[in-house]
Amino acid sequence: AQTVTQSQPEMSVQEAETVTLSCTYDTSESDYYLFWYKQPPSRQMILVIRQEAYKQQNATENRFSVNFQKAAKSFSLKISDSQLGDAAMYFCAYRDSNTGNQFYFGTGTSLTVIP
Amino acid sequence: DSGVTQTPKHLITATGQRVTLRCSPRSGDLSVYWYQQSLDQGLQFLIQYYNGEERAKGNILERFSAQQFPDLHSELNLSSLELGDSALYFCASSPRRGSAEAFFGQGTRLTVV
């Protein structure tokens, strides 16, 4: 079964600085999708960014960008110009495009933004 | 607003009881997923339905069951409730196979007392 690993249970960043959250995954598939979800204190799950495995270009969404290393099975999230509203739990997720269509989530990284 | 509606938002019930959680997916989405999130825990996948049929099953207890109806809404039934079942239960939907993200509802907070 596919696994998603987030090795940083907690991270902190100064406001306006940049922080990178790590994620690795294990799969034998070549076609899949990767996501970062944000869960603020409201507990709502919010999609931050999505990456298709067949695309070499790293996805970006405003201040959020990813570093997708397919060979290394690594998918890190970079948050630039961190804001207080970025404080949340961040989950990395994997979805296989061929079988089952199930989403696999990591255990999450709790991000604190220091004013 | 993700477009996924879960009811009720909060539920308090006693041990041994049975409850039903309801999920209305986004218009046109065929897949519905149920996840359990206990306090300070990650998301545990329970079950997935696609167009009315069970597609995948995770660590769902035998006391729990789910179904997806012809109008694509889904219900998660939890019976013989225990204190440890207290959690946030999320429903998510996605439109088609393999190419799209999941959109989450706001969750149902279940408290078993």
Rounded Cα distance, A52 and A63, in Å: 19
> What local confidence, expressed as pLDDT, does residue B23 receive?
98
Which residue in chain B is spatially nearest to A102 when comparing CA positions?
A: B56
Write down the residue that tokens 């509606």 correspond to.
B5
- Residues in A closer than 8 angstroms to B57, CB to CB, are none
pLDDT confidence band for A98 (50 / 70 / 90) = low
* From A76-85, A97-106, B55-64, the region with the lowest mean pLDDT: A97-106
Asked if residue A99 has pLDDT above 60, the reply is no
The CA distance from B22 to B73, in Å, is 7
pLDDT digit string, tens, across residues B103-113: 999 999 999 99
Residue B99 has pLDDT above 60, yes or no: no
Of B31, B33, B42, which is closest to A91 when you measure between CB atoms?
B42
| A60: nearest Cα among A45, A77, A73 | A77
CATH fold group of domain A3-114:
Immunoglobulin-like (2.60.40)
Mutate to test the interface with B, among A103, A105, A107, A110 (most CBs of B within 10 A): A103
Give the residue from chain A lying closest to B109, CA to CA.
A43
My answer on whether omega of the bond before B8 falls inside 30° of 0, hence cis, is: yes
Q: Can you give the pLDDT at residue B41?
A: 76
Burial class (CB in 10 A: 0-12, 13-18, 19+), B33: buried
pLDDT of residue A90: 97
pLDDT, greater one: A96 or B66: B66
pLDDT of residue B101: 83
Domain residue extents for chain A: 3-114
Please give the pLDDT value at position A64.
Answer: 98
CB contact under 8 A, A43 and B107: yes
Question: Which residue type occupies B38?
Answer: S
- Given a contact cutoff of 8 angstroms between Cβ atoms, the answer to whether B49 and B71 are in contact is no
Q: Name every residue in B having a CB less than 8 A away from some CB of A.
A: 2, 31, 33, 37, 42-43, 45, 48, 50, 55-56, 58, 88, 90, 92, 94, 97-99, 101-104, 106-107
Strand boundaries in B18-105, DSSP class E:
19-24, 31-37, 44-50, 53-57, 64-68, 74-78, 87-94, 103-104
Q: Tell me whether residue A94 is exposed, middle or buried, using C-beta atoms within 10 angstroms of its C-beta: 0 to 12, 13 to 18, 19 or more.
A: buried
What pLDDT, in 10s, does the model give residues B5-56? 999 999 999 999 999 999 999 998 888 999 999 877 788 999 999 999 998 8
Contact between B56 and A100 using a beta-carbon 8 Å cutoff: yes
